[in-house]
Chain A
Amino acid sequence: MNQFTFEGKQKTVLGLFILLGLVCMGLTYLTDDELHTRFWSNFLHNTVFFTGIAFVSTFVMAAFTSAYAGWHTIFRRIWEAYSLFLIVGLGLLMVLIGGVWLHYHHLYHWTDVTALQPYVNDAGVYSDVIKEGFKENPNYDVVLGGKSSFLNKYWYTFGTIITVGVWYLFAKRLRSLSLSEDENGDTSYSHHKKIKFVSAVFLPIAAFSSAAMIWQWVMSLDAHWYSTMFAWYATASWFVAALALTILMIIYLKSKGYLEELTGEHIHDLGKYMFAFSVFWTYLWFSQYMLIWYANNGEETVYFHTRMRQYPVLFYGNLIMNFALPFLILMRNETKRKFGTVGFTAALVFFAHWFDFFQMIKPSARINAEHAMHAHHSAGGHDHEAGGHAVDAGHQFLMGFDFPGFLDIGTFLGFAALFVFFAFSRMAQASLIPKNDPYLGESLHHHV
């Protein structure tokens, strides 16, 4: 049984979860602060997380194809379905972009146009040079001003649209070649050669562009802070999340009687990947943390200082769930072959990497919001020191920032249901196991 049917019951359940997500988002919006920070940061968080999974799925397919890997062919269609979600991701990102243009949200400090140029006149016109009638801009933030040729709404808008658009075109091309191989493939394997070509071209494009996207979407939340590692770190997080979601999907499909030829051997390999890349993620995490800790530069340590002191649950929870637990559970070979254990770990790790992005986004969004509200309430009272990041005193526990609350989890479930809904609908379009792929035989008879 290799033709997936998207049943009415599944549609209903997923639809209900999407509804739950919408209700939670609505409730968040209503119960939120005046800038709707929780709502918007949830939106950004889930959009980035699921778009990233779609991106990584495309990337993994391309990388595996280029490396002559064969064993994954049997579940390649799942990654194809995931990769197509990029178009939905682009739609969601457009909402965020719209928010930047229309000032619906204040997620990013760099959207504060009053801070970018050193001089201002009474009419509120800003200038880079001193002119007649201009005086010093009390709000001027020299760091933001220096970055404004990258951190601005034009780059944010067109960079995102072009990059995600290009990713989607690649995902779509890979998909259509794969579908056409089902229909017209023969032993000359001309389709596979084309897939290989498209994959090879995609890899460098993806490597260069994904970093820029992560800087804009996530790292620029801390507009004063920077770390060269950050993009690779976030990509590793996406990667593990995508693997976990793949494992969960496979286990679900098997429970429904699909993918009969998929055995413990495949799950073993996926488990190994999840284990290895959890360790790799930890390696990147540690390298970034250790170097910043060791050098002890104020403008760098502020990032971890805030998280360790004010968000200890996020900081340590992230490490425990993303390193300690998968490491200990998956270390033994036997556990990597058991569907139950691997499935449980996959669910844990999937949530944990969502939690990792929560940890990256929420504290920064909250600081930006407090900052924006502060500026809003006391006109012109824009404090300079460390860009207003030093809000150490009087940190109060706030649901949705210090810890994911019910509304945030509900929103997450809604987005996840949307992702799965979309993936199911794409999976139903073709056979679950690709036909005529030159590596199919290897994948169907995969033995370690």
Chain B
Amino acid sequence: MSAVVSPIREPLIEGGKSYHQITEDLVGPTEKVPGFSWILCMAISLGLFTLGIVSIFWTIFFGIGTWDLNRTIGWGWDITNFVWWIGIGHAGTLISAILLLFRQKWRTGVNRAAEAMTIFAVMCAGLFPVIHMGRVWLAFFIFPYPNTRGPLWVNFNSPLLWDVFAISTYFTVSLLFWYTGLVPDFATVRDRASGIRKKIYSFLSFGWTGSAKHWQRWESLSLVLAGLATPLVLSVHTIVSFDFATSVIPGWHTTIFPPYFVAGAIFSGFAMVLTLMIITRKALNLEEYITLQHVESMNKVILATGSIVGVAYLTELFISWYSGYIYEQFAFYNRAAGIYWWSYFGMMFCNVISPQFFWSKKLRRNITFTFFMSIFINIGMWFERFVIIATTLARDYLPSSWSYYTPTWVEMGIYIGTFGLFFVLYLLFSRVAPVVAVAEVKSILKTAGDQYVGANATHTHHDRQERATHIND
């Protein structure tokens, strides 16, 4: 490609890769028998997942009473975990959609895995509201279908129903987007495979040939899906925030909730992407495709969104005072100095203060530090949801109903189980599909490969001279 690249851009693909080498490196892991560490991770994940299944059965068999929810605190770990997982599920679509529209090339290194992560996270998230309904076998009542109950329709005015639509739409569209991106890569795997693998990947690759017209339509589809997914990803966490903000509960009813939830979701999503990618790049030897440049860019997004979240926290705090409304003022006093003060400080420290370390370029490019930070941030974002939900509910308008809540082993078991589910799916994915988008990486090779751009470029391009003349005139 004869695009001009700024001399100060750093390469995104290292090691002087050729197209064939990219195929080898990225498709290779799907062709090998998994190693011991993979099997170990899988075993642990399956163990956690089993615990989750047992806990869910326990809940369904004995009822929601096995949780510590009470009349005051009707939402506890379940909804906290739901919002937390949904938030994590935002990074994938953000990376692939918004960054595609903003033409940030570094997304190609991480979009595939991030989208996969999105889909798995949404699956984990969806579990919680369903089991929280109590009688899971009646879960289909949430869909508007002609029924024998009147027909009594679902309440379209309820934010909880909006959630049903938002999350199922988000899941569907993310899946379509992800799979459409995977089809050409599955074709690459197919054309290298033989025997039963060839049959399987033939089926998965939908008969892709790489015809020019197909690529053209494929690009057009990707672009429009990205355009659709961008407002969609905003809408999902917006609607989750509506679950709280449409109420008249002090601390919940505040107009900044939608954009602030979205920023928080992106924040935690990127943290989770970093956690996974730092492990993946090491395990699958992808350091030349997921470079320090990628890590740094993601850390910048974390710094930006973390600061936006910080601005929102302070805005809420200030406006609660400014409102002159004593219940609103109490709600925030209670967060910082009430019974759950530790979760408020956990949230403030992990979400607002700790990302500020990323002002340092050295730390942004430090893998170990980034890894710990990414886990830290996800703890902080979990605390944020816990603060919003449990702290607020524990101290409502009626002091005689004030209460305290600690989760039971069943609730913890379900939460741990979702980790199991998440990692089982991710580990499977990392063996079945190329974790980095092969075709997309190839398409940026000539504008981002280190033999073409950056300090060590060896290929002189005719545009280089052209640029030089522009600088001199």
**Who on chain B is nearest to A445 by CB?**
B4
Stretch from A20-28, A79-87, A280-288, A316-324 contacting the other chain:
A280-288
Q: Is A147 an interface residue (CB 8 A)?
A: yes
**Who on chain A is nearest to B5 by CB?**
A442
B363 smallest CB distance to A (angstroms): 14
Given contacts A208-B311, A445-B463, contact A228 B319 (CB under 8 A): yes
Given contacts A66-B300, A226-B322, A438-B6, contact A231 B315 (CB under 8 A): yes
State whether B4 touches A441 (Cβ < 8 A): yes
Which one of A150, A272, A297, A436 contacts B471 once the chains associate, using CB atoms below 8 Å? A436
Q: Is A207 an interface residue (CB 8 A)?
A: yes
Q: Is A229 an interface residue (CB 8 A)?
A: yes
**Who on chain B is nearest to A150 by CB?**
B322
State whether A279 touches B253 (Cβ < 8 A): no
State whether B8 touches A189 (Cβ < 8 A): yes
Q: In the complex, A279→B232 CA distance in Å?
A: 12
State whether A279 touches B231 (Cβ < 8 A): yes
Q: In the complex, A142→B326 CA distance in Å?
A: 12
State whether B256 touches A229 (Cβ < 8 A): yes
Interface of B is mostly: helix
Number of interface residues of B (CB under 8 A): 47
Chain B residues near A207 (CB-CB < 8 A)? 307-308, 311
**Who on chain A is nearest to B307 by CB?**
A204
Residue among A150, A207, A229, A231 with most chain B CB within 10 A: A229
Q: Is A9 an interface residue (CB 8 A)?
A: no
Which parts of B307-339 form the interface with A (CB within 8 Å)?
307-308, 311-312, 314-316, 319, 322-325
**Who on chain A is nearest to B256 by CB?**
A228
Q: In the complex, A286→B308 CA distance in Å?
A: 20
Chain B residues near A445 (CB-CB < 8 A)? 3-4, 463, 466
Binary contact track B453-473/A, C-beta < 8 Å → 1, others 0: 000000000010011001101
Q: Is B101 an interface residue (CB 8 A)?
A: yes
Q: In the complex, A142→B325 CA distance in Å?
A: 11
Which one of B5, B246, B254 contacts A294 once the chains associate, using CB atoms below 8 Å? B246
Which one of B245, B463, B471 contacts A291 once the chains associate, using CB atoms below 8 Å? B245
State whether A438 touches B255 (Cβ < 8 A): no
Q: Is A187 an interface residue (CB 8 A)?
A: yes
Q: Is B9 an interface residue (CB 8 A)?
A: yes
Q: Is B383 an interface residue (CB 8 A)?
A: no
Q: Is A403 an interface residue (CB 8 A)?
A: no
Q: In the complex, A306→B346 CA distance in Å?
A: 42
Which one of B6, B256, B258 contacts A442 once the chains associate, using CB atoms below 8 Å? B6
State whether A229 touches B259 (Cβ < 8 A): yes
Q: Is A340 an interface residue (CB 8 A)?
A: no
Which one of A69, A211, A291, A444 contacts B311 once the chains associate, using CB atoms below 8 Å? A211
Which parts of A269-311 form the interface with B (CB within 8 Å)?
272, 276, 279, 283-284, 287-288, 290-292, 294-295, 297, 299
Given contacts A287-B238, A438-B6, contact A295 B471 (CB under 8 A): no
Binary contact track B179-209/A, C-beta < 8 Å → 1, others 0: 0000000000000000000000000000000
A436 smallest CB distance to B (angstroms): 6
Q: Is B242 an interface residue (CB 8 A)?
A: yes
Chain A residues near B3 (CB-CB < 8 A)? 442, 445, 447
**Who on chain A is nearest to B469 by CB?**
A441
**Who on chain B is nearest to A69 by CB?**
B102
Q: Is A255 an interface residue (CB 8 A)?
A: no
B253 smallest CB distance to A (angstroms): 5
Binary contact track A136-149/B, C-beta < 8 Å → 1, others 0: 00000011001100
Q: Is A440 an interface residue (CB 8 A)?
A: yes
Given contacts A229-B259, A283-B234, A297-B248, contact A441 B467 (CB under 8 A): yes
- Provide 29 A-B residue pairs closer than 8 Å at the C-beta atoms, listed in order of the A residue: A67-B102, A67-B104, A68-B9, A189-B7, A200-B359, A208-B311, A211-B315, A226-B319, A227-B319, A228-B254, A229-B255, A229-B256, A229-B258, A230-B255, A232-B256, A232-B259, A272-B101, A283-B231, A291-B257, A291-B258, A294-B242, A294-B246, A295-B248, A297-B248, A438-B8, A441-B5, A441-B463, A441-B470, A445-B3
Could you list which residues of chain A lie within 8 angstroms of chain B, going by C-beta atoms? 66-70, 142-143, 146-147, 150, 187, 189, 192, 200, 203-204, 207-208, 211, 215, 226-232, 272, 276, 279, 283-284, 287-288, 290-292, 294-295, 297, 299, 435-436, 438-442, 444-445, 447
